[in-house]
């Protein structure tokens, strides 16, 4: 029902979770028992997907939390067609625009092509410079914190005005029923319970792995003559990072199962897609 009702934030969330899970599955299948550089072109694409999905999932859940907060806001009015269009443009710009921008600028702070981890596959390499902080590390905790604030506000409004909750949802004209609102809220809150600690923890781990802060220099990183790093070199990740990657993989799988939806309409749409595929 997320697609049929045009719920842009949830659509973006489903896209990024599905793409991240597919990327993780392919990486694990290819490198489940070694760390040989057998698919360099695939790794070039895979690490871009990892960067984009890491930010895109949290940006999407931020859009979902913002939408729920707007529904219960005292200033909320019935959504018109132009309101829904503006919300969709904002959501897609945030959930796709920011990740794609970071993916495009990855080369600026990329010292080597990629690293390969046994049982995990291709992974991003980075140096601690200001572009790394601006384009990679700052976005996950920023979106997670903003989504948490919106979620806390939503819970506060629901507790304070629980008697008018059904009327507020119906008056928004957003194709949301009370049950759908509750399911979307549970999705948002449950994901944030996992994503917020992981965003902070993952950022701390990444900061510790990238080492001390360096003054950014394009020549230092990318010049084939003066650079201290061979861009085509394939790194092996540290043991500290190998202990962490399994937790991130489990979170992606859990989020993939959760974001799919379990309502009657979701099951009906799944059956329709299955019939069309077998026809």
Q: Please indicate, yes or no, if residue 207 is contained in any of the structural domains.
A: yes
Q: Please indicate, yes or no, if residue 231 is contained in any of the structural domains.
A: yes
Helix (H) or strand (E) holding 69: helix 40-72
Q: What is the pLDDT along the chain (279 residues), one digit of tens a residue?
A: 445 555 888 899 999 999 999 999 999 999 998 888 889 999 999 999 999 999 999 999 999 999 888 887 777 666 677 878 888 999 999 999 999 999 999 988 888 888 898 888 998 888 888 888 888 888 988 998 899 899 888 888 877 766 666 666 655 555 566 777 777 778 778 777 877 787 778 778 777 777 778 888 887 777 654 444 445 555 555 444 444 454 444 444 444 444 444 444 343 443 443 444 444
Within a 13 Å sphere around the CA of 173, how many CA atoms are in the beta-carbon half? 9
Q: Please indicate, yes or no, if residue 111 is contained in any of the structural domains.
A: yes
DSSP β-bridge partners for residue 117: 121
CATH of the domain at 125: 1.20.1070
Q: Please indicate, yes or no, if residue 3 is contained in any of the structural domains.
A: no
Q: Which of 10, 8, 6, 3 has the alpha carbon at shortest distance from 186? A: 10
Q: Are 121 and 38 in contact (CB under 8 A)?
A: no
Rounded to whole angstroms, the Cα distance separating 105 from 109 reads: 8
Q: Please indicate, yes or no, if residue 172 is contained in any of the structural domains.
A: yes
Q: Are 88 and 10 in contact (CB under 8 A)?
A: no
Q: Please indicate, yes or no, if residue 1 is contained in any of the structural domains.
A: no
pLDDT confidence of residue 6: 59
Number of structural domains in the chain: 1
pLDDT confidence of residue 121: 92
pLDDT confidence of residue 127: 82
* CA 166 to the chain's CA centroid: 30
Q: Which residue has the tokens 């072109």?
A: 41
Q: Please indicate, yes or no, if residue 232 is contained in any of the structural domains.
A: yes
Domain of 55 in residue numbering reads as 8-278
pLDDT confidence of residue 238: 46
Q: Please indicate, yes or no, if residue 47 is contained in any of the structural domains.
A: yes
């Amino acid at each position: 029902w997320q697609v049929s009702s045009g719920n842009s934030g949830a659509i973006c969330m489903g896209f990024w979770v599905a793409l991240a899970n597919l990327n993780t599955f392919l990486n694990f299948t290819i490198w489940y028992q070694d760390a040989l550089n057998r698919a360099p072109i695939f790794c070039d694409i895979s690490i871009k997907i990892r960067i984009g999905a890491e930010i895109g999932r949290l940006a999407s859940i931020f859009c979902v939390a913002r939408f729920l907060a707007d529904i219960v806001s005292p200033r909320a009015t019935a959504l018109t067609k132009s309101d829904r269009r503006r919300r969709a443009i904002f959501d897609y710009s945030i959930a796709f625009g920011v990740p794609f921008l970071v993916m495009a600028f990855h080369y600026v702070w990329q010292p080597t092509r990629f690293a390969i981890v046994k049982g995990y596959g291709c992974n991003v390499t980075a140096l601690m410079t200001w572009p790394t902080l601006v384009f990679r590390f700052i976005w996950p905790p920023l979106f997670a914190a903003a989504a948490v604030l919106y979620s806390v506000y939503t819970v506060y409004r629901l507790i304070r005005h629980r008697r008018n909750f059904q009327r507020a949802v119906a008056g928004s004209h957003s194709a949301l029923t009370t049950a759908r609102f509750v399911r979307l809220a549970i999705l948002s809150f449950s994901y944030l319970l996992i994503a917020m600690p992981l965003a902070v923890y993952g950022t701390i781990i990444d900061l510790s792995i990238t080492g001390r802060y360096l003054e950014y220099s394009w020549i230092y990183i990318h010049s084939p003559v003066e650079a201290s790093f061979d861009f085509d070199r394939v790194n092996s990740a540290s043991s500290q990072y190998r202990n962490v990657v399994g937790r991130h993989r489990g979170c992606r799988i859990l989020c993939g199962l959760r974001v799919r939806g379990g309502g009657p309409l979701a099951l009906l749409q799944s059956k329709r897609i299955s019939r069309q595929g077998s026809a």
